[in-house]
Amino acid sequence: MATQSQSQFFSSLKRYYSFYTGGFVAFIIIVAILEQMGVPNKVLGYIFLAATVLLYAGIGVMSRTADVSEYYVAGRRVPALFNGMATGADWMSAASFIGMAGTLYLSGYDGLAFVLGWTGGYCLVALLLAPYLRKFGQFTIPDFLGARYGGNIPRSIGVFAAILCSFTYVIAQIYGVGLITSRFTGLEFGVGVFAGLGGILVCSFLGGMRAVTWTQVAQYIILIVAYMIPVVWLSVKHTGNPVPQIAYGYVLEKVTEREKVLNDATTPDGAKEAEVRAIFKQRQEAAEGKLKALEAGGVSYLAEEKAKLVKAAEDLKANKDADPAAVAAADKAVADFPADAAAATVAWKKAAAGAKAKAAPIAAHAEPFAGPDEAARDKKRKNFLALVLCLMVGTAALPHILMRYYTTPSVSEARKSVFWSLFFIFLLYFTAPALAVLAKFDVYTLLVGSSFSELPSWVASWAAVDKTLMSVTDINKDGIVQLAEITIGGDLIVLATPEIAGLPYVITGLVAAGGLAAALSTADGLLLTIANALSHDVYYKMIDPHAPTTRRLAISKGLLLVVAVFAAYVTSLKPGDILFLVGAAFSLAASAFFPALALGVFWKRANKWGAILGMAGGLGTCMYYMYITYPFFGVNAPLWWDINPISGGIFGMTAGFVGVIVGSLLTAAPSKEIQDLVDHVRYPNLEGDIKTEAA
Amino acid sequence: MQLTEKHKQYWQKNLRMTGVLLAIWFVATFVIGWFARDLQSITILGFPFPFYMAAQGSLIIYVVIIWYYARAMGKLDREYGVHEGDE
């Protein structure tokens, strides 16, 4: 293909991917026919997952390469449009595909922080970084830091930060891969993780960035088709309009009206809701009462309570006519009774908090920062805006995204490519809020008020799979479903939409394949970033600058394997909360990279010591804040200005900017060569220009 | 490498454009976000205004900002003779 011109290359790419899309649609139709012929759902799930993973592997094999520039930056000839699609897939992770609509369903307006943050960040990428990094044109982000600030220290901090945030992020992705494979194939979670990992590796292992790029374009097409079909169908079902993004304004009005009815105890539906809430209120008070008694009575209270339960169970058993279900329940209550005071505190606190949430009236979907008083609302507003800023700046600092703009043929293509990236990301992100509202409408009007004896089939089937995703319990024993009796896990919304909309199982399989594509594509990009930071920045640039090409690539591939297996191992331990891991990766990247990168382009005076101080200070501040405030670490220090640990990047970024500025002003201005380098990246083309692009 | 007056002008124009677009970005995100509760009574296409902006409006503004920047900078590059050769 080396002899092809860029425009020929572009048109043959368009042809390949049109064929590919057509082939994919044909494949869906064939699976749909198989379903009609009575092939069981589980087999359909296997077919979907196996076919897509094989496809990615096939692209990986076809794009194998032994050329350094092909391996690290796909030969720098990815057209803007295709780089945009690849960036879209690289960007949209399992959290965006599966989690986001659920977050919006559960938190309404406040969840839109993720929508805003994960799109608006591209303005910063386009205006402040992408074109300049492209002109610089080497292989990694630490490359830029190393060249702009000189010496190995800024590069090393960059390598450390790149690995830290990419690794945090990749764990969330592999977790998503494990979740999807285990749910749709019935494999165990740990096995699912390693099976998915195989799919990630065949691709990036053989062809590096080149294989990852062309696979990501294929994955984008699958994930966007998989996301759109069920939402369009649901929109037609509820509004008759096939454009959900326009139609859901009307549905949102209906949802808001319905919220008012359900919150108003004078209406028949509202009265039923109030009844259920009162029961939850009692449960909350009971749990709180037990907690108080435990504090006062200690271990002896715990023993007394347990004895009561044991006695109740024995009394029941003594009665010959006792209902066997009641006996089993009493035995279970004894078995589940917390073993010690610490376990009891945890269990009862959880019970009290759960019941308290259920006892509260329904939060209005469209109301920003709902709260009981001005102080609570203000706190929510502050955290909303802080999270938006951290996610945006983090977007403009995550190395696996910035790296993608090295792969375009020119500076002006890089600028256009950011536009295409955001456009393709936007397609999914402005659909997610519509999906959340449509699903909510379905639940509020069709599920609420239905009878427990004839629940919609999707409710029954998901409740059978996983109680944390969907459960309905008849709390007030009236045989009718009330909203407060439904518990929905966020991930359910996207996964169950095809069934809510009444679509055949083939679409559910398609959604699973889409979720897998989202998780795999992001994991690919992240693993490559980590392996490249180690092999290119540490080994080639710092340890052995004379290493031959074959050894550089061999080391890179070896490291990829080690990092991937290690990440899968960490994931199989199921650490922490996925949304927090993702948010933490953004805050960390924002603190470590953004100040040094942006000032490196826009402020010539920024120098080595400023960069060292700013990067280390920013990253250190952010890590320290997360460590002292995130409950997982057990320090639980008071928050600074009520900012949640996920937005710790606010403090990290501030420290980063102050560090770069103060450190630079206290030491000598950078050399003439470095100032020339800054001019070099600022102009797409200069006469008598220096050359930094690495081939 | 010596920068001419013309080169400096190019960079000034780029900075000005970047500044204006960032200001729009800031208003679309943070100013509307800050006043979200106060703007709740305005309705647009059936949506409360702040909800519409956070779910759709601001996103469209972001896409347009980036599209405009890529286009305008392409023009500016040619006008100041710093554009890249055609591939």
Using a CB-CB distance cutoff of 8 angstroms, which residues of chain B are in contact with residue A381? 33-34, 36-37
Please check the confidence at residue A681 and state whether its pLDDT lies above 50.
yes
Mention every residue, 6+ apart, whose C-beta is less than 8 A from residue A562: none
Q: Give the Cβ contact number of residue A396 at 10 Å.
A: 25
Q: Which residue of B has its CA nearest to A675?
A: B1
Please check the confidence at residue A1 and state whether its pLDDT lies above 60.
no
Mention every residue, 6+ apart, whose C-beta is less than 8 A from residue A54: none
Q: Give the Cβ contact number of residue B20 at 10 Å.
A: 11
pTM of the model: 0.87
Q: Which residue of B has its CA nearest to A687?
A: B1
Looking at residue A241, its pLDDT comes to: 83
Chain A interface includes B74 (CB < 8 A): yes
Looking at residue A235, its pLDDT comes to: 87
Name which of A122, A127, A679 is nearest B22 (Cβ-Cβ): A127
ipTM: 0.93
Highest-scoring range by mean pLDDT, A335-344, A515-524, A540-549: A515-524
One-letter identity of residue A463: A
Place of tokens 């993973």: A53
Closest CA to A439 of A60, A12, A5, A101: A101
Among A28-37, A59-68, B64-73, where is mean pLDDT lowest?
A59-68
Residue A108 confidence class, pLDDT cut points 50, 70, 90: confident
pLDDT tens digit sequence for A320-355 = 777 777 778 778 777 778 777 777 788 888 888 888
pLDDT tens digit sequence for A134-187 = 888 888 888 888 888 888 888 889 888 998 888 888 888 888 887 777 777 777
Please check the confidence at residue A574 and state whether its pLDDT lies above 70.
no
Rounded to 10 degrees, what is the CA torsion of A422, A427, A433, A436?
-140
Percent of chain A residues topping a pLDDT of 90: 14
DSSP state of A605: T
Using a CB-CB distance cutoff of 8 angstroms, which residues of chain A are in contact with residue B58? 116, 119-120
* Structure-token pair, residue A224: 């966007």
Name which of B51, B54, B87 is nearest A410 (Cβ-Cβ): B87
- Rounded mean pLDDT of chain B? 88
Looking at residue A572, its pLDDT comes to: 76
Question: Choosing among A6, A123, A427, A602, which should be mutated to test the B contact, i.e. which has the most B CBs within 10 A?
Answer: A123
- Rounded mean pLDDT of chain A? 84
Question: Choosing among A395, A412, A677, which should be mutated to test the B contact, i.e. which has the most B CBs within 10 A?
Answer: A412
Percent of chain A residues topping a pLDDT of 70: 98
User: Could you please report the per-residue DSSP string of A240-283?
Assistant: S-S-HHHHHHHHHHHHHHHHHHHH-TTSHHHHHHHHHHHHHHHH
Looking at residue B87, its pLDDT comes to: 43
Using a CB-CB distance cutoff of 8 angstroms, which residues of chain A are in contact with residue B73? 131, 412, 415
Using a CB-CB distance cutoff of 8 angstroms, which residues of chain A are in contact with residue B48? 366
Residue A576 confidence class, pLDDT cut points 50, 70, 90: low
A402 vs A41 pLDDT, higher one: A402
> For the purposes of burial, counting CB atoms within 10 Å of the CB of A43, is it exposed (0-12), middle (13-18) or buried (19 or more)?
middle
* Structure-token pair, residue A447: 């599920």
pLDDT tens digit sequence for A211-249 = 888 888 988 999 999 899 888 988 888 888 888 888 888
Highest-scoring range by mean pLDDT, A123-127, A265-269, A641-645, B33-37: A123-127
Residue A386 confidence class, pLDDT cut points 50, 70, 90: very high
CB A103 within 8 A of CB A111: yes
Looking at residue A695, its pLDDT comes to: 62
Name which of A116, A367, A422 is nearest B66 (Cβ-Cβ): A422
Q: Do B84 and A686 touch (CB under 8 A)?
A: no
Looking at residue B68, its pLDDT comes to: 95
* Structure-token pair, residue A299: 């271990």
pLDDT tens digit sequence for A44-53 = 888 888 888 8
Mean pLDDT of A496-508: 83
Looking at residue A3, its pLDDT comes to: 55
SS3 of residue B48 by DSSP: strand
Residue A389 confidence class, pLDDT cut points 50, 70, 90: very high
User: Could you please report the per-residue DSSP string of A71-111?
Assistant: HHHGGG---HHHHHHHHHHHH--HIIIIIHHHHHHHHGGGG
Looking at residue A545, its pLDDT comes to: 82
pLDDT tens digit sequence for A601-659 = 999 888 988 999 999 999 999 989 888 887 777 777 787 888 888 888 899 999 999 99
For residue A467, CA distances in Å to A27, A471, A488 come to 33, 5, 9
Q: Do B36 and A433 touch (CB under 8 A)?
A: no
Q: What is the 3-state secondary structure (H, E, C) of A149-176?
A: HCCHHHHHHHHHHHHHHHHHHHHHHHHH
Q: Do A389 and B30 touch (CB under 8 A)?
A: yes
Chain A interface includes B18 (CB < 8 A): yes
